[in-house]
Structure 1
């Protein structure tokens, strides 16, 4: 029975990766005749994908939700803001893979834990294999902004709920309470991919990995 159970587990994992590969190569087309009015970026660290947007524009001033003062550096000169959504346990309790706990991994895979938004202020964007610029219209950016805001777990006044922690990645980032649960089928990269769909850009049909997003921006 143990051997049979192991074989079933291996088969399920194999099916998962096959579907992830196939569906990530199938694309959702970009909306035609897109006006190039605002530049956004997709940025990966080799695991997560962030959606990077201007801190301020005619569409939205993100400092309403992400305060400079919530970061250690409190640097008000940053021009861009990167958003990532993911499992709260991974974000706050797993600074390196060596710190990963079985309980954290299990809760993340099964959707039993809560989520968080990781926001990072940035000064300049350098386009390379890990950072791609996408020019979109103001109307498309409005849709993207609504998509991002919808993941914030706002309080009764409509303010973001800052997570006070020492788990920051650097001097320019902060964490916020978020809606939804991370799981095997809706990961941080699935969320970023959905954000691209929301604003009418090229995206994978479905992907749990960053490669599935960047494959369409080679």
Structure 2
């Protein structure tokens, strides 16, 4: 019995040590600025980094001279099927989390396990907005056309496609009347979360970002004045 208790104690201590190391590493690395490449061209495009308190999205103009997101993510795929939107929020994450966990109270152990260990599929979530307002969880940032094209390329490369078209996830789990889900590449895990995806996009575009981030707070710390 003593041997069993000893083994259980070692396992518990190992898990506790891992959790502490993970939290410390994430906190430190997410707040250390990643190297930023030199910006080419004038910063004429305003984008936003937005969080809902847990998950981050990139919020971009629906249409400019470099990209028309409504062509890639048609309005008809949203519940409202409306128009007149000025911005689109784009995020990546575990499909199970997106579709089965609209609120934290709905989280199942099986969903969390699959997501934590990279066993599930991923999805891109898009939300159309008629206006965006800055607050403590949403920050504007000016970028150049070159940086914007880097963001576009990063998002497009994250999508699964069928004959060059984004694949709509058919579901009734939309969060509102102006959003939709699309099949994506990659797998969510405790080391590569929805926020890691956002952080990697920011790094690719030469925007403020941390070395590595899995939580939203480290990303937002680079934008708070």
Q: Same fold (TM over 0.5)?
A: yes
1:122 aligned residue (117, 129, 136): 129
Residue correspondence of structure 1 range 100-119 to structure 2 within 5 A: 100-119=107-126
> Which residue does 1:145 correspond to in 2?
152
> Which residue does 2:4 correspond to in 1?
none
The question of whether the paired residues in 1 share the 8 Å contact of 2:26 and 2:214 is answered with: yes
Runs of 4+ in structure 1 off by over 3 angstroms are 29-34
Asked whether 1:19 is paired with 2:21, we answer: no
The question of whether the paired residues in 1 share the 8 Å contact of 2:39 and 2:206 is answered with: no
> Which residue does 1:158 correspond to in 2?
164
Rounded Cα–Cα distance in structure 1 between residues aligned with 2:114 and 2:168: 22
Asked whether 1:189 is paired with 2:195, we answer: yes
1:36 aligned residue (30, 43, 68): 43
Give the TM-score, by structure 1 length: 0.97
The question of whether the paired residues in 2 share the 8 Å contact of 1:46 and 1:210 is answered with: yes
**Displacement of 1:64 after TM fit?**
2.0
* 1:79-130 Cα deviation digits (max 9, x unpaired): 1000010000000011121211111111100001000000000011101111
Unaligned runs of 5+ in 2: 1-6
1:203 aligned residue (200, 205, 209): 209
Give the TM-score, by structure 2 length: 0.94
Residue correspondence of structure 1 range 31-180 to structure 2 within 5 A: 31-32=37-38, 35-155=42-162, 157-180=163-186
Rounded Cα–Cα distance in structure 2 between residues aligned with 1:28 and 1:2: 40
Rounded Cα–Cα distance in structure 2 between residues aligned with 1:16 and 1:68: 40
CA RMSD of aligned residues (A): 1.1
- Structure 1 residues 29 and 125, CA gap change in structure 2 (3 angstroms): farther
Unaligned runs of 5+ in 1: none
The question of whether the paired residues in 2 share the 8 Å contact of 1:29 and 1:201 is answered with: no
**Displacement of 1:28 after TM fit?**
1.7
The question of whether the paired residues in 2 share the 8 Å contact of 1:49 and 1:84 is answered with: yes
Rounded Cα–Cα distance in structure 2 between residues aligned with 1:92 and 1:127: 27
Does the residue aligned with 1:42 lie in a helix, a strand or coil? strand
* Aligned pairs, number: 217
Rounded Cα–Cα distance in structure 2 between residues aligned with 1:56 and 1:143: 16
Rounded Cα–Cα distance in structure 2 between residues aligned with 1:149 and 1:33: 21
The structure with the largest alpha-carbon Rg is 2
